[in-house]
Amino acid sequence: MTEADGTVRDRTWLGAYGERVAVDWLRGHGCKVLARNFKGPHRGEVDIIARDGKLLLFVEVKTRRENPLVRPLDAVDKTKQALIERGANAWLKRLTDRDLQAHVVKPSKGQLATQSGFTLPSLQQLGFETTNLLTLGINPGMSGASALFADFKARMAAYHERRDFPARKGPSYLSVHLRFGTVSIRALAAAAWHDAGRGAAVWLSELIWRDFYFMILHHHPRIATQSFRPEYDALVFPNDKARFDAWCEARTGYPLVDAAMRQLNQTGYMHNRLRMVVASFLVKDLHIDWRWGERYFAAQLNDFDLAANNGGWQWAASTGCDAQPYFRIFNPVTQSEKFDPKGEFIRKYVPELKGCSERQVHAPWLMNAAQQQAAGTVIGRDYPAPLVDHAAARAVTLELYKRVRAV
Ligand SMILES: Cc1cc2nc3c(=O)[nH]c(=O)nc-3n(C[C@H](O)[C@H](O)[C@H](O)COP(=O)(O)OP(=O)(O)OC[C@H]3O[C@@H](n4cnc5c(N)ncnc54)[C@H](O)[C@@H]3O)c2cc1C
């Protein structure tokens, strides 16, 4: 891999991938690949040696790390890695001014090889369908991202106070742009870094979680299917399919959880606080394997990113690196009272509960018959009764985790 200054080479990151693509391409064009990672007198200069008929080809693969902020410690020594894995905060401490510099991109259009007999497959052939992002409220492209960031910059100072309240315009909503590269992570981080306010500092620490999860996935690719903390792979979840379907279809009877799942199903986005709440609920109230929820999110989220999604799910399930402890189990009612105190977010997505008071809307099953009548919602008919009892479910979870930890 060639870095911004054109010198640093990194074989463990995109470099290795780029090399593989180049090898496949050469083979597909009738070349014989003779050697990779050539370790001769020109070591470090030649990635692939191939033969095209009588012609000997020396191929240098140039790739560029654009997506993460900080290098994922390619040739990391064990102690350093252990230190970083202590948590995202330690990762934040590694950030330097150099990481925030824009990469100098040399125009290379005129230097690319011209190809004959090779057509790129169309998006339709790759299985994509035409859609209209504007109907989802996504303003696409770099212009869309910069308009969004301009709007957020004016609100950044209050980020730390507003970000946890889904009914308020607190976060940046930039995740889909970060996911698809229509905004520069370095430009965003630099703006936060050079802002002395508390809101900017907290936002920067959130951007760092993204990098942190990239790094964890980079060093531990097995987490794509397994727990970061291997002892938790022994967890036996009952995985009741009917409960899982109720969660996906926003029929759990817990208003904040259902409102959040409707936001996801209708818009392809879910507020961060709610991602934590619904993930905790699926694993620790419904006792379903975190991988089921991770898969569902992957299919629904417009900002789906393997590293962040896996990191978020393993954080909620307590199986991950720097995760919340297993005994920390969100109470879906108190989370609702705390982060949607007036029930505004709930009413937006669960209009069945519009007639409930600010107090009733968080746990509508507690209304008596007369109150249900007055609210215009009969529990069990207009809105489901709770799928599980939180206190009982919590006790089961503690048992499940304790059993594994005792082994
Ligand atoms: C169960 C679960 C699944 C998640 N899945 C994804 C996913 O597939 N893709 C994704 O981008 N984020 C994911 N997140 C992280 C976070 O919820 C979203 O990044 C955030 O809600 C996006 O909204 P925003 O851009 O307004 O965030 P802001 O609060 O404005 O944050 C700015 C950016 O920082 C990054 N960020 C913030 N929080 C996190 C975090 N906890 N982990 C990693 N990056 C973070 C994102 O790139 C985000 O766009 C997940 C979190 C959880 C708990």
| From 109-118, 217-226, 232-241, 264-273, the region with the lowest mean pLDDT | 109-118
| pLDDT tens digit sequence for 318-344 | 999 888 899 999 999 999 999 999 999
Write down the pLDDT at residue 293. Answer: 98
Of 89, 169, 276, 303, the residue with max ligand 1 atoms within 8 A of its CB, to mutate for a pocket test, comes to 303
Residue 119 dihedral angles phi and psi, to the nearest 5°: -115, 135
CATH class of 14-59: alpha beta
Write down the pLDDT at residue 13. Answer: 43
In this predicted structure, the answer to whether residue 270 has a pLDDT above a threshold of 60 is yes
Rounded CA gap, 152 and 145, in Å?
Answer: 10
Residues 6+ apart with CB under 8 A from 121: none
Write down the pLDDT at residue 45. Answer: 57
CATH 1.10.10.410 for the 78-99+131-219 domain, yes or no: no
Residues 6+ apart with CB under 8 A from 25: none
Rounded CA gap, 339 and 168, in Å?
Answer: 10
In the chain, which segments carry CATH 1.25.40.80?
78-99+131-219
Look up the pTM and report it. 0.86
For the chain, what is the total number of helices (H) and then of strands (E)?
A: 17, 3
Report CA(400)–ligand 1 centroid distance (Å): 28
- pLDDT level of residue 388 (50, 70, 90 thresholds): very high
- pLDDT level of residue 37 (50, 70, 90 thresholds): low
In this predicted structure, the answer to whether residue 118 has a pLDDT above a threshold of 90 is no
Rounded CA gap, 50 and 23, in Å?
Answer: 9
Write down the pLDDT at residue 3. Answer: 32
Query: Ligand 1: residues whose CB is within 6 Å?
Result: 163, 171-175, 178-179, 206-207, 209-210, 213, 272, 275-276, 279, 297, 301, 303-305, 308-309, 311-313, 316
- pLDDT level of residue 136 (50, 70, 90 thresholds): confident
Residue 263 dihedral angles phi and psi, to the nearest 5°: -60, -45
Write down the pLDDT at residue 352. Answer: 97
Report CA(272)–ligand 1 centroid distance (Å): 6
| From 38-42, 132-136, 295-299, the region with the lowest mean pLDDT | 38-42
Report CA(242)–ligand 1 centroid distance (Å): 28
Pick the CATH number of 233-406 from 1.10.579.10, 1.10.150.20, 1.20.120.430, 3.30.460.10: 1.10.579.10
Write down the pLDDT at residue 346. Answer: 98
Ranges 26-30, 55-59, 139-143, most confident:
139-143
- Judged on CB neighbours under 10 Å (0-12, 13-18, 19+), 364 is buried
Residues 6+ apart with CB under 8 A from 174: 145, 148, 149, 152, 183, 188
Ranges 1-15, 150-164, 215-229, most confident:
150-164
- What is the arithmetic mean of pLDDT over 64-87? 61
* 3 state SS of 298: helix
Token reading at 178: 């970060």
Rounded CA gap, 65 and 101, in Å?
Answer: 13
Write down the pLDDT at residue 42. Answer: 44
Write down the pLDDT at residue 29. Answer: 82
Please answer whether residues 228 and 216 qualify as being in contact, where contact means their C-beta atoms are separated by less than 8 angstroms: yes
**How large is the C-alpha radius of gyration of the chain?**
25
In the chain, which segments carry CATH 1.10.579.10?
233-406
Residue 68 dihedral angles phi and psi, to the nearest 5°: -85, 165
- pLDDT level of residue 115 (50, 70, 90 thresholds): low
| From 128-142, 183-197, 373-387, the region with the lowest mean pLDDT | 128-142
- Judged on CB neighbours under 10 Å (0-12, 13-18, 19+), 84 is buried
Rounded CA gap, 7 and 217, in Å?
Answer: 25
42 or 394: which leads in pLDDT:
394
Query: Please, what is the average pLDDT of the chain?
Result: 87
In the chain, which segments carry CATH 3.40.1350.10?
14-59
Of 172, 186, 272, the residue with max ligand 1 atoms within 8 A of its CB, to mutate for a pocket test, comes to 272
Write down the pLDDT at residue 16. Answer: 62
